[in-house]
Structure 1
């Protein structure tokens, strides 16, 4: 009889804790969603570069290289599918150009956008015309390291923004392939083992994938790096908003605001 009573008491306590945690989680989710909605209203660029520049000019510093993690949403979701992903990338490019940031890294796990590069370029040009006007569109360069492709849209002498499209193969798999290549060269006496150093590996990774960013922005509801290249996250700042599900300017500018106040200490 005592055991039965203890079981029901324990069961009741667990149920009570479950309901309390569920209520707390729902309240927290609603609060985050309302907060993000408020931010979206407070920070609204209206496709106007001057508004973005005014926001950025208030900051102490801005990053030279910004990386973003994007997700391919289901076609039935708001701003979903490939079209939604292309729209998000186009907006990010316009925001970075308006902010004066010279390099942008787009990481999408499956790299589906690599199959729609012409469509992406058309949409980027259309969006930049809305932001900057038809006669004063900035120049940009799109690089796809894994397939060794590049797309240049240049009307002047300089490139205003360099865009790098990364996918999962540019992460851990690149390290594996580089290790195999160096192993083969060493076994064939084409590369001395003494020459295989951290500096050499770092130089090769930069050559294959590019320099590491200063700031990483995740637009998902939770922080999920999704096998993002591990050597790119050694010193960068990471920013995300809990329960956010969209690529929006408010999260972008708040990430820049956080970076402007951060201090990076490099020690031994």
Structure 2
């Protein structure tokens, strides 16, 4: 009995050891499969994560231009780009025909105009949203100036020339007007009425009316030259009332949208303008 009992005990002990070895093997296998699954998941998800990060970085770059992550490099590039153009417009009109204008994207466009050396900028949307919210646009431009131009912000100042912003000068060289449809046809009607009053008061005669006289009577663009270039944003094939008197000789370039507009798109439009031959109606 004792011999049989010892044999049974040794068999049971061997069985327990075998079960323990099997358990360890199973655990190792499960850990290996888990690690492989994790590695596979990482391998599958890594490209998506990289793509997501790239898209986010690209979106930020598209809105802020080349200065993102290096304002000094951006300023140098903008100045070089402006000097490299065969001709640079003195006055650029930014016309938005889309229903929901973006203050951030419009501010970027204004700051880019300033940075490349454009002296006059007009902002227009057919609903008058920018003009009604002039202060909000001004705040966004100041923010973009600081982000994109950095320490050189004092060299790129902008004067708001609207009637409701008289005297507000933001330390700068470029001049901005924010316009609405009332500054177009309605301003021409008002100028005609003022001229008729001058004739009725015998201060003028009908023969005095010419292009220069009408320009002087138009209050919405007083002190501004006619736009050399209009950048029209949106699917509508019309400037929707933007300064109809002043753009008779203006080069008009259409872009799909001002939303998430990139500096590359903006400069491409300037390059197109610089390369075009204007015949002035000849």
Counting only pairs closer than 5 Å after superposition, residues 120-159 of structure 1 correspond to structure 2 as 120-134=137-151, 136-137=153-154, 138-144=156-162, 147=164, 149-154=166-171, 159=172
1:212 CA drift (Å): 0.8
Q: What secondary structure, in the 3-state scheme, does the structure 2 residue paired with 1:118 have?
A: helix
Greater C-alpha radius of gyration: 2
Q: Which residue of 226, 231, 240 corresponds with 2:245? A: 231
User: Which residue does the alignment assign to 1:98?
Assistant: 115
Q: Does residue 1:203 correspond to 2:201, yes or no?
A: no
State the aligned residue count: 214
User: Which residue does the alignment assign to 2:129?
Assistant: 112
Which whole-Å CA distance do the structure 2 matches of 1:257 and 1:249 have between them? 12
Q: Which residue of 200, 205, 214 corresponds with 1:187? A: 200
Structure 1: 5+ residue runs without aligned partners? 1-36, 75-79
Counting only pairs closer than 5 Å after superposition, residues 1-268 of structure 1 correspond to structure 2 as 44-47=65-68, 48-71=74-97, 73-74=99-100, 84=102, 86-134=103-151, 136-137=153-154, 138-144=156-162, 147=164, 149-154=166-171, 159-205=172-218, 208-209=221-222, 210-241=224-255, 243-244=256-257, 246=259, 247-266=261-280
Structure 2: 5+ residue runs without aligned partners? 1-57, 69-73
Q: TM-score, normalised by structure 1?
A: 0.69
How has the CA–CA distance of structure 1 residues 150 and 173 changed in structure 2, closer, same or farther, with 3 Å as cutoff? farther
Q: TM-score, normalised by structure 2?
A: 0.66
Which whole-Å CA distance do the structure 2 matches of 1:94 and 1:67 have between them? 13
**Paired residues of 2:106 and 2:258 also in contact (CA < 8 A):** no
How has the CA–CA distance of structure 1 residues 244 and 87 changed in structure 2, closer, same or farther, with 3 Å as cutoff? closer
**Paired residues of 1:140 and 1:162 also in contact (CA < 8 A):** yes
- Coordinate RMSD, CA, aligned: 2.8
1:237 CA drift (Å): 1.0
Which whole-Å CA distance do the structure 2 matches of 1:185 and 1:100 have between them? 39
